[in-house]
Amino acid sequence: MSETVKMPQISEIEVLASGLDSPRKLSFGPDGALYVAEAGRGGTGASIPSPSQPGAFLFYGATGAITRIQNGVAEQVVTGLPSLALPDGSDASGVSDIEFDAYGNAYAIVGLASNPANRDDVLQVPDFSQLIAINNFDGGAGWTRLRDFGAYEQNNNPDGQDVITNLYDLLIKDNTAYIIDAGANDLLSQQAFGGEVTLETVFPTRTTTDPLTGEAVVRQSVPTSVAVGPDDALYVGELTGFPFQAETAQVYRINEEGQPEVYAGGFTNITDLAFDDAGGLYVLEYDADGILNGSDAGALIYVSPDGKTRTTIADDELTNPTGLEIGADGDIYISNKGFVAGQGEVLRLNLEQKTCFDPDPIYNKVKHYTTTIAADGDPADVYYPVLPNSTPDQLPIALMLQGALVDKADYSNYAEKVASYGFVVVVPNNQRTLTAPNGETVTGLLSEQGQVNEVLEQMKVEDADPTSPIFEIADTETLGLLGHSFGGAVGLGATQDEICIPGICSQDYTLPPQLQAGIFYGTSFRDQLTGEFLPLDNEGIAVGLIQGSLDGVIPSSNSQTTYDQILNPPKVSVTVEGANHYGITNVDNPEREPNRPTLGQIAATETIGRWSGLFLRSHLLDDRGAFNYIYSTGDNLDPNVNVISQTPVY
């Protein structure tokens, strides 16, 4: 059976930076920031002939820059780099790429798009066509020239065509710098940033027809991008030279003999390449219908890992894009409007479906402490994740309503698991006396609805207390409920304020506006006197039920009937195969549960905690990945569960 290839889709395009001068390649630094090479807008200095517009001239100016994008702020951190451009600032040549080595050192390349002799004799600016080291990112002009690649072209001219150099793409791999020279049609390298330049390969010319004259002409390759493939080989994309025809650009793989062999063809004016973690290839096209055909719309094309399927991810949204980078988050970053001064952009393309949603906990470490609920004197254990970078109001509150006569300590494993998904989990011991349906009184650990508001008020106090472990990290305006057995019934009742079941409700209970969701294990909702299952009018509050398939206390049929009585979606019912009524607690309870589980206690608690945490993330933190897992994909991915759900269009 063949496997269906899942192609990426874009859900949103966000402009991260604008007003840039001819942005080219991008790279993430060791600080997590995104760095962009700006080729600049030229200036009013010395001029040389334009290689692309006969009769026009490119004028020099120190207007190139490197811009850092971090925390939503774009800032030029290196300025004064050399630039050549037409008088209106367009068609610029200058700094074209920035990369970082394994030690965090930054390097860049500066293009020229001309004969190196023009640099030396006319411009007299030696920084063009150089590999440079960036000295610092303080906003000044601090760099060191490392290697003159223009001199290599002038002295060697490996492709035998016109002597032209235009360094365009830089790749650092295994302490070696690989440089694409688009003007010279070759791939060069320099090991350990010292010694002689090595010619890796030359890209072939092809014969085509000049659409203006009908005569045969030689079309140069004009390589523009180099990337490391999943097989550790180098892959190179080409723009193609005049007449820039559509669907003639190729992606080459450099084989073991150092020769370029065609990996994929049929593209148009490629400016960059990038492989994703799955081995799929993103190809960025500068002009999707060919440079001479009037439109400036580019395209981003995805080639499946097996090379058999390709799809266009973005097209009309892109205007002459020049750089491509895949972030650690899986999103795609593109330099847009790459040959226009003052109009350049950096875009982030958010993937609708990441390669794989990870349902594991968000935080690795959870701590807890014991406090007292001031309103009634109940002791409570409070679990919270250790945050690497805390911000105010980061963690919603989740109140755990205990099962009848079950101590708070028995829920420690479950509470830790839920907290690891980004919540402050509060587990009180609520001591009270109630009258059972048969008239007998029961005194012990029994939840009640009044705890909802009491615990919320207590967390507000502790979040504002500088001595509290959860000082200023709790979001006390967002509340979710958890519950087990009798506590689950209490929680279900707390999602509405128009119904009161004796023994479960509190007469003075008011539904707090902070309550947005609740998920409960091993429970049902019915009148304790008549046994009637009651409708749950949970308007505006998402409700989830989790049930063990071997629950001998609350039969699965009762849980299903309760699910059917939940009036308002979203709602979900999760059955954990092989778990009994006490799968949520640290240990089984043979005295109160007649059925023995077939799913191990640790696995059961982990499964129940994971689904609880992801459910709350779906509705309290608007986590789309968690939402899709709960309502769509998790049923197939988790072998321990079966899921039914209902949700409005999300």
Cβ proximity of 319 and 336 under 8 Å: yes
pLDDT at res. 502: 74
Mean pLDDT across 324-347 = 93
pLDDT at res. 498: 67
pLDDT at res. 5: 45
CA 636 distance to own-chain centroid: 23
Mean pLDDT across 388-405 = 89
- pLDDT band at residue 354, thresholds of 50, 70 and 90? very low
Q: Write the burial class of residue 124 (CB in 10 Å: 0-12 exposed, 13-18 middle, 19+ buried).
A: exposed
Order of strands, edge to edge, in the sheet holding 344-351?
10-20, 344-351, 332-336, 323-326
Handedness of CA 504, 510, 512, 515 (dihedral sign): positive
Q: Between 438 and 509, whose confidence is greater?
A: 509
Order of strands, edge to edge, in the sheet holding 395-401?
366-373, 378-385, 424-428, 395-401, 474-484, 515-521, 542-548, 571-576, 641-646
Task: Indicate the pTM of the whole model.
Answer: 0.58
pLDDT at res. 283: 97
> Structural domains in the chain?
10-351 (2.120.10.30), 366-646 (3.40.50.1820)
Listed in sequence order, the residues at least 6 apart from 32 whose beta carbon sits closer than 8 Å to its beta carbon are 70, 328
Mean pLDDT across 44-62 = 94
Nearest to 268 by CA among 253, 290, 301: 290
Q: Which residue's structure tokens are 């001031």?
A: 374
pLDDT at res. 355: 45
pLDDT at res. 210: 87
Distance CA 77, CA 354 (A): 32
pLDDT at 439 over 90: no
Q: Between 1 and 116, whose confidence is greater?
A: 116
Distance CA 227, CA 210 (A): 31
Distance CA 483, CA 477 (A): 20
pLDDT at 363 over 70: yes
Rounded to a whole number of angstroms, the distance between the first and last alpha carbons of the chain is: 32
552 φ, ψ (degrees, to nearest 5): -95, 0
The angle subtended at Cα 166 by Cα 163 and Cα 168, nearest 5°, is 150
Rg (CA), the chain: 32
pLDDT at res. 237: 97
Mean pLDDT across 596-604 = 97
- What average pLDDT is seen over the chain? 92
Mean pLDDT across 530-550 = 93
Strands (E) in 241-304, as ranges, are: 249-254, 260-267, 270-275, 281-285, 299-303
What letter represents residue 246's amino acid? A
List pLDDT tens digits, range 482-538.
999 999 999 999 998 767 777 777 667 889 999 999 999 999 998 877 888 989 999
Cβ proximity of 200 and 188 under 8 Å: yes
pLDDT at 362 over 50: yes
Neighbours of 230 (CB within 10 A): 14
pLDDT at res. 306: 81
pLDDT at 87 over 90: yes
pLDDT at res. 636: 85
Task: Give me 2's structure tokens.
Answer: 């063949």
pLDDT at res. 100: 93
